[in-house]
């Protein structure tokens, strides 16, 4: 009979006592006693339900935290892998495409053809050109200057200090084959189109853009108070061990 109800042993004894009293017609327990016993029973049930509910909530919260950690860990791992892939793609995209023919025409001693902007900016940045060439190319360098560039420098008095530098015996003068006077940029472009054994040193942005359209011609310029080489094979510009 008692198996049909959710009652404790104490409650079962209480109900048995009540039934026995009624059956034997003895004095039954007072209503206050019964009421108090029922309240205690309900309180025990309520406390038990709350404990179960709290335990279930705690378990659910722990499960959610574990799921969040798993998702976060997976995302962070995928993000790191994606970042590495993006970096590798960026390096490949930024790496200049060097033609194999450069290595056939350019080699030590390097012939570096300079223009007036490169000379003037070297003085402005207080750079020793021969030392800068050595630090940048890691080998012997022969600075070359076309005659039309010399003429351009001689026409302007502000280049007197530059003229002193190019009179150094280490600078090689390049004879210009053109009969008419032309812009120095045109002279340089014509020369590197015909001969692919020069590195052009210039700080003229427009001239650098035009040189980039000509394959197999490295460019040297000044940035952050030092010489930078562009479109140069690593095998040629790397320091000797």
- Tens-digit pLDDT profile for residues 86-110: 655 544 444 344 444 444 567 788 9
Q: Which of 74-78, 91-95, 175-179, 206-210 has the highest mean pLDDT?
A: 206-210
CA atoms of 16 and 116, how far apart (whole Å): 117
**Are the C-beta atoms of 148 and 176 separated by less than 8 Å?**
yes
DSSP string covering 28-71 = PPPHHHHHHHHHHHHHHHHHHHHHHHHHHHHHHHHHHHHHHHHH
Q: Please choose, from the candidates 185, 175, 118, 111, the residue with its C-alpha nearest in 3D space to the C-alpha of residue 147.
A: 175
**Are the C-beta atoms of 144 and 113 separated by less than 8 Å?**
yes
End-to-end CA distance of the chain: 98
For the domain 102-237, what is the CATH superfamily, name and number?
5'-nuclease (3.40.50.1010)
- For the segment 173-191, the average pLDDT, to the nearest whole number, is 84
> Is the predicted pLDDT of residue 32 greater than 90, yes or no?
no
**Local structure of residue 240 (DSSP, 8 states):** P
Confidence at 22, pLDDT banded by 50, 70, 90: low
Say if strands 219-223 and 226-230 run parallel, antiparallel, or are unpaired. antiparallel
Of 28 and 215, the one with more pLDDT = 215
Write down the pTM of the prediction.
Answer: 0.54
For the chain, give every domain's residue range.
Answer: 2-72, 102-237
């Amino acid at each position: 009979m008692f198996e049909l109800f959710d009652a404790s042993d104490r409650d079962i004894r209480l109900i048995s006592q009540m039934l026995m009293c009624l059956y034997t017609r003895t004095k039954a327990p007072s209503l206050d006693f019964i009421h108090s016993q029922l309240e205690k029973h309900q309180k025990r049930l309520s406390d038990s339900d709350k404990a179960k509910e709290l335990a279930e909530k705690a378990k659910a919260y722990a499960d959610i935290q574990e799921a969040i950690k798993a998702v976060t860990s997976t995302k962070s791992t995928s993000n790191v892998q994606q970042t590495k892939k993006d970096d590798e793609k960026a390096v490949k995209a930024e790496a200049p495409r060097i033609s194999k023919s450069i290595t056939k025409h350019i080699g030590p001693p390097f012939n570096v053809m300079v223009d007036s902007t490169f000379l003037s900016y070297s003085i402005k940045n207080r750079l020793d050109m021969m030392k800068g060439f050595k630090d940048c190319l890691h080998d012997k360098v022969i600075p070359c200057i076309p005659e039309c560039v010399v003429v351009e420098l001689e026409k302007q008095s502000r280049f007197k200090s530059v003229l002193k530098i190019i009179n150094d015996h280490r600078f090689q003068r390049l004879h210009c084959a053109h009969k008419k006077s032309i812009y120095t940029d045109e002279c340089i472009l014509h020369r590197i189109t015909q001969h692919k054994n020069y590195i052009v040193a210039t700080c003229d942005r427009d001239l650098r853009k035009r040189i980039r359209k000509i394959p197999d011609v490295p460019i040297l310029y000044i940035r952050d108070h030092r010489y930078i080489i562009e479109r140069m094979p690593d095998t040629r510009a790397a320091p000797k061990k």
